[in-house]
Structure 1
């Protein structure tokens, strides 16, 4: 009995809301696809409006939208190419081969063609088999069955997947986004990868594995990095943002004039000011870089006079010149909470180029700020503690 249960898959880590989201998406997607397909195809005289493989495509599109097998080209290309292969097998080999052999040949050739065209999509095999086993109606339609029914159904279903997934918070299409990009535009790897596993390591393992993975490469890389962070937390304990943040912070408001804001930064020797509203919620952040960029200070020639002109009030009611902090700040900055582990800030500061992370409490009110110096000091102290132990 134990041996039997060992064949069963492990429990799912997907939450119940995500399961319901996927199920509702498939319902909506197939319903809208069927209705629109009937509306589009009825004038053409086509009698087949929906085919069974669309149900399998819907599972991938709405339940695993991040899968490489569920991306728009994989879905559309896989279904249409497989359908064309199936119809071609019926047209040219249907009279010379028994139906079971013809079906197997169609699916095999469809898989080979999908590999060649980089559009692997499992339901494509079902489309190829449908073209072979669909009976007289499908055989009579021939290539029109693929170019009309299969293509229209797939295009409508993919369109619904794009709309539904993005409305429900799922990035789709899942464009490859490497976590190793260096924001400075140089060839160096992202700082977090210089001591951990490298991109070449991942590529080498994937080549050695030599099988199709139902997960994108960037997601796999991200999971590895998150696993490393959790292992670090377990090993050294959890240090939160509340433990290391600076609390006595000078800040600005949207209407703070530029010159006082600049003097505030100079007097306190800081390079950034969080911008708060009257409820002390973070609405932006202004840095020295913002002053330089908006002031047109792109060269050292005459920088002092240019900066003075930029900071000085224009003295007129209506002007295109920026007058207050709110006009030059970066809106909706990335923030972290008091209980956020500091290791979660490492990718943001090391890879994404953030130098200051405002910290907010449970009510999203400003509580403090963490700079790169704060983070480096905390990690250094942790390393010293490890060495002493």
Structure 2
């Protein structure tokens, strides 16, 4: 079987009008609508608040043009490393300072504008606040005219830094109500919860952080994504591929149905006795109406007394129709030993343990379709 296109060294096939197709991944119409609303609110409010500082004095602009480009990043791609608070505030301010300095020491305008942008990139890179609109801030500081020249280094702080800080503050508030978190926090790497030197289970097999770093070095390109986010994305792709190909077994097919549980009013001693007598590691906890309230295990019961309701933790749940393989991620996190299968009313239907899932894997692999 011949390898697919792209693995044979064939040049990529360009589709008609491909230059007009954006390459930004994950963008949806809803995201773009949110970005438009955010930019509308952000730019208007930034201009309004900044104009209060300047009053009616027309000597300096109350808002600078680079802030418009900053708003595009802040509201359209808030997860970008280039759109984070320090990138916006530091990138614009430091670049403006660089532009002012170049303008004062270099008299030739053509050389000055080139040096301003080039040195702004260097300064932003060294201070870890690379921000594309910073190049425009540096350029504005050079060619901004007599008003900017008269303001001197103060231009970098008012209006540039002030505009940037106000925009970031508005972005922080706006994204509390959007579907995106801001500032963006990269995915936390899996940790070993047992206090040993081993790698955590999810990363013992497959690619590792050094593989991602090596691949990025091999490609020789700079991508607008945090390496930890890239790691999370690749692992999510692996999981979705597995879910797509392994759909024969559902949670209902492999779950235990005679589930040992305990009530919320039971004490720790009774719960511990149930765990030991049945040889299980987790007990679902049910409330007075028979619905799942949480789970309790030996970890929670060790050297503790009182009602189970005060000791239980949040239950890891799934539905009977969910693919059994979808539980892999939940049962490999180092803390969860079982998943409670519930109906729409959170009534317990069954339980899937790590042993149940491991026992089903050989049958899943046996039914795996052959690649053609």
3-state SS of the aligned residue for 1:273?
strand
Partner of 1:97: 108
Contact 1:272 1:285 in 2 (8 A): yes
Partner of 1:61: 74
Q: 1:17 to 1:264 in 2, by over 3 A?
A: same
3-state SS of the aligned residue for 2:20?
coil
Work out whether 1:336 is the aligned partner of 2:336. Answer: no
3-state SS of the aligned residue for 1:369?
strand
- Rounded Cα–Cα distance in structure 1 between residues aligned with 2:57 and 2:203: 56
CA deviations on 1:83-135 (whole Å, 9 max, x unpaired) are 11111111111xx203x432222111111211122211111111111212222
- Rounded Cα–Cα distance in structure 1 between residues aligned with 2:283 and 2:67: 53
Q: Counterparts of 1:1-389 in structure 2 under 5 Å?
A: 5-9=17-21, 13-42=26-55, 47-93=60-106, 96-98=107-109, 100-237=110-247, 239-278=249-288, 280-292=290-302, 295=304, 310=305, 323-330=306-313, 332-386=314-368
For residue 365 of structure 1, report the CA deviation from its aligned partner: 4.4
Unaligned stretches of 5+ residues in structure 1? 296-309, 311-322
Aligned residues: 357
Contact 1:251 1:274 in 2 (8 A): yes
3-state SS of the aligned residue for 1:167?
coil
For residue 220 of structure 1, report the CA deviation from its aligned partner: 0.9
For residue 192 of structure 1, report the CA deviation from its aligned partner: 2.9
TM-score by length of 2: 0.85
3-state SS of the aligned residue for 1:166?
coil
- Rounded Cα–Cα distance in structure 1 between residues aligned with 2:80 and 2:370: 45
Contact 2:285 2:296 in 1 (8 A): yes
For residue 144 of structure 1, report the CA deviation from its aligned partner: 0.9
Q: 1:364 to 1:63 in 2, by over 3 A?
A: farther
- Rounded Cα–Cα distance in structure 2 between residues aligned with 1:240 and 1:141: 69
Unaligned stretches of 5+ residues in structure 2? 1-13
Contact 2:94 2:120 in 1 (8 A): yes
